[in-house]
């Protein structure tokens, strides 16, 4: 991870941490890395008010390197991924995903619809300071109609008739504000909506994928709803809710969809990729149904990388990033929602019953503030504590000790079918690190 790029592009508070100058420099560096001369960059954004200023900064940077820039307006992140793949173009999304309205961010996509690799981002960072910035105002040309290509593809990809069915959606006043209700209605559903206005001041405010209780309450208030879906600000995540108002997280979503895909012979090698944070209950559920789970680092692009390495067709994160490889090349909240509705039909059961089949084992996370993360990593104590925890659990639990990517902290996560054992091992491990390296 570099100075500017994190696990999902560059993010910060708009105009203070993420400045127009920085965005222009990153854009010039990216354009110079991938070439130019009549190459077109596709630009999409969420509803944040700062988005237009960053769109212009991106346009200045790319045009200075001989590129054309085409804005497609407000569109979910997976919409840009889809358009990049179908038009063989590079793309950029201006969004801070689930972060508050005062934040913004940028993330780039290659012509195959994939996010950039660590190596490509490191190379971009190495070039950032090598440019004199342009002062003239430059804006992108626009074609908002390209959004329809994305929604039409979704409708055509699913053989779904939702006539007579009612669903609840929360679009978090973000990038899915139009595409989600429009797509579901075209498939026949009655849609009860929240957050379906392009209001950048309200994006993610007590709603969306980080606040699924909004949809849970709406489902409970509307008898007859079959499911609810909460999307995040840029539309690449989805958290579901069953017909009783219970939250269905990314792990359970993957478990349900995996069985549906397996029954349709779409789950290549019967492998599901999740991250190190996914619950062990999902792994046990997959094993019972003839599937296996492989784990990656946290971050949906690392999930995607592992999926390519394993030739897997389903992967994702507990947080609701779910990648269904024969339908998308990145997390797509709306594809996830439609796939879950499809799975309910294929498996002939309601969402609460399907969700209950997947156990959730107790997990405990303790963050330990330390003076220097690298000192902890170099000391050998992490390997020692992993061995000790494995002996304690004796095959009935696991521990994960890792540094925070952004703070001077070591994160200790334990998991076990036994809450008491989970707590005992986690607290002992955290205390050992605190005693030796804590602040």
Judge if 300 and 341 occupy the same domain: yes
User: In this model, does residue 42 exceed pLDDT 90?
Assistant: yes
Q: If pLDDT is split at 50, 70 and 90, which confidence band does 38 have?
A: low
Per-residue model confidence as pLDDT tens digits over 190-240? 999 999 999 999 999 999 999 999 999 999 999 999 999 999 999 999 999
Confidence of residue 1 (pLDDT cuts 50, 70, 90): very low
Report the share of the chain in percent with pLDDT over 90: 89
Let me know if 230 is a catalytic residue: no
Overall average pLDDT of the 329-339 stretch: 96
Residue 337 has pLDDT above 80, yes or no: yes
> In this structure, is residue 163 part of a structural domain?
yes
CATH code of 407's domain? 3.30.310.50
Pair of tokens at residue 353: 């019953």
State the average pLDDT over residues 74-85.
Answer: 96
Same domain, 81 and 175: no
Within a domain: 188 = yes
Considering the domain architecture, whether residues 334 and 298 belong to the same structural domain is answered as yes
Q: Does the structure show a pLDDT above 80 at 399?
A: yes
Q: Are residues 95 and 26 in the same domain?
A: yes
CATH number for the domain harbouring residue 167: 3.40.120.10
* CB count in 10 Å sphere of residue 111: 16
Q: 328 with 236, same domain? A: yes
64 has pLDDT over 60:
yes
The answer, yes or no, to whether residue 257 has pLDDT greater than 90, is: yes
Write out the DSSP string of 258-319. Answer: HHHHHHTT-SGGGEEEEETTS-HHHHHHHHHTT-EEEEE-SSHHHHHHHHHHHT-SEEE-TT
Checking if the pLDDT of 86 tops 50, the result is: yes
Is there a domain that residue 4 lies in? Answer: no
Q: Is residue 167 part of a domain?
A: yes
pLDDT (tens digit per residue) in 171-196? 999 999 999 999 999 999 999 999 99
pLDDT level of residue 135 (50, 70, 90 thresholds): low
Q: Are residues 192 and 219 in the same domain?
A: yes
User: Is the same domain home to 249 and 310?
Assistant: yes
**Sign, CA torsion 422/213/250/408:** negative
Instruction: Please tell me the distance from the alpha carbon of residue 169 to that of residue 151, in angstroms, as a whole number.
Output: 16
Q: What is the pLDDT of residue 138?
A: 77
User: Could you count the other beta carbons within 10 Å of the beta carbon of residue 130?
Assistant: 10
Has residue 75 been placed in a domain?
Answer: yes
Range of the domain at 174: 158-356
Q: Do 246 and 110 fall into the same domain?
A: no
Count structural domains, the chain: 3
Coil/strand/helix, residue 12:
strand
Domain-ending residue, one of 121, 145, 169? 145
Spatial distance between the Cα atoms of 196 and 194, rounded to a whole number of angstroms:
6
Residue 3 lies in a domain: no
Kind of pairing between the strands at 225-231 and 166-170? parallel
Same-domain status, 210 and 284: yes
**Stated pTM of the model:** 0.91
pLDDT score of 2 more than 70: no
Residue 153 resides in a domain = no
pLDDT, mean of residues 105-120: 94
CA distance 162 to 142: 34
Dihedral (CA of 152, 153, 156, 157) sign: negative
Asked if residue 306 and residue 265 are part of one domain, the reply reads: yes
Helix (H) or strand (E) holding 420: helix 419-437
Domain end residue (candidates: 300, 322, 356) = 356
Within this chain, do residues 300 and 386 fall inside the same structural domain, yes or no?
no
Percent of the chain with pLDDT over 70: 98
225 and 120 housed in the same domain = no
Instruction: Average the pLDDT over 72-77 and give the result.
Output: 97
5 domain residue, yes or no: no
Question: Which residue in the list 27, 50, 81, 97 is annotated as catalytic?
Answer: 97
Given a contact cutoff of 8 angstroms between Cβ atoms, the answer to whether 81 and 109 are in contact is yes
Which of 291, 325, 356 is the endpoint of a domain?
356
- CA–CA distance, 261 with 325 (Å, rounded to integer): 11
**pLDDT for position 134:** 65
């Amino acid at each position: 991870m570099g100075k500017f790029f994190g696990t999902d592009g560059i993010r910060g508070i708009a105009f203070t941490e993420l400045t127009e100058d920085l965005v222009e420099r990153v854009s010039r560096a990216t354009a110079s890395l991938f070439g130019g001369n009549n190459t077109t960059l596709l630009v999409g954004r969420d509803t944040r008010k700062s988005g237009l200023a960053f769109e212009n900064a991106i346009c200045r940077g790319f045009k200075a390197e001989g590129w054309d820039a085409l804005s497609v307006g407000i569109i979910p992140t997976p919409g840009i991924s889809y358009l990049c793949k179908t038009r063989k173009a590079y793309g950029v999304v201006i969004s801070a995903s689930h972060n508050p309205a005062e934040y913004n961010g940028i993330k780039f996509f290659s012509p195959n619809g994939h996010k950039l690799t660590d190596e490509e981002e490191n190379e971009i960072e190495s070039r950032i300071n090598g440019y004199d910035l342009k002062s003239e105002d430059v804006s992108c040309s626009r074609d908002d109609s390209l959004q329809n290509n994305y929604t039409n593809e979704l409708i055509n990809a699913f053989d779904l008739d939702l006539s007579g069915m009612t669903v609840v959606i929360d679009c978090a006043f973000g990038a899915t504000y139009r595409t989600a209700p429009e797509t579901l209605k075209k498939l026949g559903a009655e849609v009860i909506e929240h957050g379906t206005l392009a209001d950048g001041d309200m994006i993610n405010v007590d709603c969306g994928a980080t606040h699924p209780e909004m949809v849970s309450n709406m489902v409970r208030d509307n008898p007859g709803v079959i499911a609810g879906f909460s999307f995040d600000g840029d539309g690449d995540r989805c958290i579901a809710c069953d017909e009783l108002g219970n939250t269905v997280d990314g792990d359970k979503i993957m478990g349900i969809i995996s069985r549906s895909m397996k029954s349709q012979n779409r789950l290549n090698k019967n492998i599901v990729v999740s991250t190190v944070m996914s619950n062990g209950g999902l792994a046990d559920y997959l094993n019972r149904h003839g599937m296996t789970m492989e784990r990656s680092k946290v971050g949906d692009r690392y999930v995607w990388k592992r999926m390519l390495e394993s030739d897997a067709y389903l992967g994702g994160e507990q947080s609701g990033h779910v990648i269904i490889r024969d339908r998308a090349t990145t997390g797509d909240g709306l594809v996830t929602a439609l796939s879950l509705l499809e799975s309910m039909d294929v498996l002939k059961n309601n969402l609460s019953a399907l969700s209950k089949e997947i156990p959730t084992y107790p997990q405990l996370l303790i963050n330990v503030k330390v003076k220097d993360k690298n000192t902890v990593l170099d000391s050998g104590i992490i390997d020692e504590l992993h061995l000790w925890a494995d002996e304690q659990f004796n095959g009935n639990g696991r521990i994960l000790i890792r540094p925070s990517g952004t703070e001077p902290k070591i994160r200790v996560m334990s998991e076990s079918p036994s809450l008491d054992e989970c707590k005992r091992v986690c607290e002992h491990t955290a205390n050992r690190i605190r005693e030796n390296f804590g602040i």
